[in-house]
Amino acid sequence: MKTAYELLKEIGFVRVSTTPEELKAAEIIKASVEALGLKAKIETFPTQWAEIQEVSFEVTKPYQKKYNATAYQCGADCDGLVAPLLYFEDDTDVMKKQAKGKFLLVNGTAGHAGYKKFAKTGCVGFITFNGNIDYTEKVDLDQKEFRPPLHEYGDMPGINLKVEDAMEMINLQASEVKVTIKQERSTADSYNVICEIPGWEDDEAVVCSAHFDTVPHSKGYWDNGTGSVCLYGMAQYFAEHQPRHTVRLVWCGSEERGCFGSEAYCKMHPDEVEKTRLNVNIDMIGSVLGRRFAMVTGPESLVNYIDYYGKEIGFPIRCGQRVASSDSTSFADVGIPAVSIGRGGNMQGGTIHSCLDVLEHVNERLMNEDIEFITSFTAKMANAYIIPVPREIPKNMKEDIDKFYCREPKK
């Protein structure tokens, strides 16, 4: 059998959602699991998509210059739109009053909460930027996407720049821009890989998840090749040790675009979801620098269990209740207690979402220690006489999930 680290090197290529490379990675994972004597399948699901046909971004006052830019896929089109520019540095009342009718240059990215706020100002479009000014020579220009929840607040054209270009525009007091975006909207297929190890007693299940897609320009060794190969390590174990309760391994596609894969799995498998008692999600383990953590979107008793178990076996892990920006939240949102486990937190020791996510930032020994802990914890749950986690999401976690999705509380 190949080791998890060998598999990590094998899938170390850019594998963006809906691309042939994403499917190639799914096929590698499927073949690796089947080599263990287990059954695996690739499940296709549709996602929103748009083919960008033309992008042009130009400052027209007080100087003229065209900048290299990408357009937000699935946002609004425009044809030579000319508008005043405002550096929307914060969503204060003053800035919001100044924003009407302007193209907004916002700090960093346009997340769900941020977009919800500035979309109400009457602005005509927005500009984001990516990168770190200290590493401009290593920064790629990201392709961004207008994610499905944002359509609720109205579509508008969106542009993305490099950080150094945003700084130049502010330094030179750019006051007017001209923007053209043309794209053809459609849908495109993404992929989940699913492997089920039936329990010898019943079909109550523990679902283990990890995403295997990357953002553009990134080979995704740490984010989240490490989580993907953790599931492979778990498959090796459960192939030789049939669990009491069913263990289902789900490699999720399109997490980087908004957890599309895990959401699709939950929608496409309502009967399996009903029988699932716990989700164990793995997102970024094995980093050379960092610390172990577990984010529980579930009852406090699960926090205590993981804390006690780590102390029992001598595994240093910090655990608390929290909504993770990962596939675990899709499961928690349909009522399944979830924990997202990772290692990191020291961003001086590695960078994600860029070409800087490299194999050298992952340590094989530390990754194997993480895999061993996650596998042993999952085995404790899957072999329990009764899976000891109440299948409920406490009120405080439901409130945090609603805040994460920027929505009104569910009835």
**Residue 353 in this model has a pLDDT that exceeds 70:** yes
- pLDDT (0 to 100) of residue 322: 98
Burial 191-223 (b: 16+ CB within 10 A, else e): bbbbbbbebeeeebbbbbbbbbbbbbbbbbbbb
**Percent of residues, the chain, with pLDDT higher than 70:** 97
**Residue 258 in this model has a pLDDT that exceeds 80:** yes
| Residue 410 belongs to some domain of the structure | no
141-152 residue pLDDT tens? 999 999 999 999
- Indicate whether 250 and 180 sit together in one domain: no
**Residue 136 in this model has a pLDDT that exceeds 70:** no
- Indicate whether 30 and 70 sit together in one domain: no
- pLDDT (0 to 100) of residue 111: 84
Pairing assessment for the beta strands 245-252 and 338-344 based on DSSP bridges? unpaired
- Indicate whether 180 and 319 sit together in one domain: no
- pLDDT (0 to 100) of residue 274: 97
Of 116, 150, 184, the position where a domain reaches its end is 184
Average pLDDT over residues 208-223: 96
Residues forming a β-bridge with 296: 321, 339
CA distance 123 to 15: 35
- Indicate whether 256 and 342 sit together in one domain: yes
**Percent of residues, the chain, with pLDDT higher than 90:** 88
Of 184, 214, 248, the position where a domain reaches its end is 184
| Residue 248 belongs to some domain of the structure | yes
What pTM did the predictor assign? 0.95
- Indicate whether 157 and 244 sit together in one domain: no
| Residue 75 belongs to some domain of the structure | yes
| Residue 409 belongs to some domain of the structure | no
- Indicate whether 11 and 116 sit together in one domain: no
Please state the domain count of the chain: 2
- Indicate whether 234 and 347 sit together in one domain: yes
Q: Which two tokens stand for residue 164?
A: 């150094």
Confidence of residue 110 (pLDDT cuts 50, 70, 90): confident
CATH of the domain at 133: 3.50.30.30
- Indicate whether 355 and 245 sit together in one domain: yes
Task: Please report the DSSP string for 118-137 in residue order.
Answer: HGGGT-SEEEEEES-GGGGG
- Indicate whether 237 and 381 sit together in one domain: yes
Of 139, 165, 184, the position where a domain reaches its end is 184
Asked if residues 336 and 279 have their Cβ atoms less than 8 Å apart, the reply is: yes
| Residue 168 belongs to some domain of the structure | yes
Confidence of residue 360 (pLDDT cuts 50, 70, 90): very high
57-94 residue pLDDT tens? 999 999 999 999 999 999 999 999 999 999 999 989 99
CATH of the domain at 301: 3.40.630.10
Asked if residues 130 and 153 have their Cβ atoms less than 8 Å apart, the reply is: no
- Indicate whether 259 and 147 sit together in one domain: no
Q: Find the Cα–Cα–Cα–Cα dihedral 312, 317, 323, 324, rounded to 10°.
A: -130
Q: Which two tokens stand for residue 386?
A: 């009764």
| Residue 36 belongs to some domain of the structure | yes
Mean pLDDT of the chain: 95
CA distance 221 to 226: 6
- Indicate whether 334 and 366 sit together in one domain: yes
CA distance 227 to 193: 14
- pLDDT (0 to 100) of residue 3: 96
CA distance 309 to 339: 14
The candidate with the shortest Cα–Cα distance to 86, out of 71, 99, 73, 77, is 99
- pLDDT (0 to 100) of residue 138: 66
| Residue 210 belongs to some domain of the structure | yes
CA distance 69 to 24: 29
- Indicate whether 250 and 361 sit together in one domain: yes
DSSP state of 349: G
**Residue 411 in this model has a pLDDT that exceeds 90:** no
| Residue 411 belongs to some domain of the structure | no
Query: At CA 265, angle to CA 217 and CA 395, rounded to 5?
Result: 100
Domain that holds residue 299: 4-47+189-404
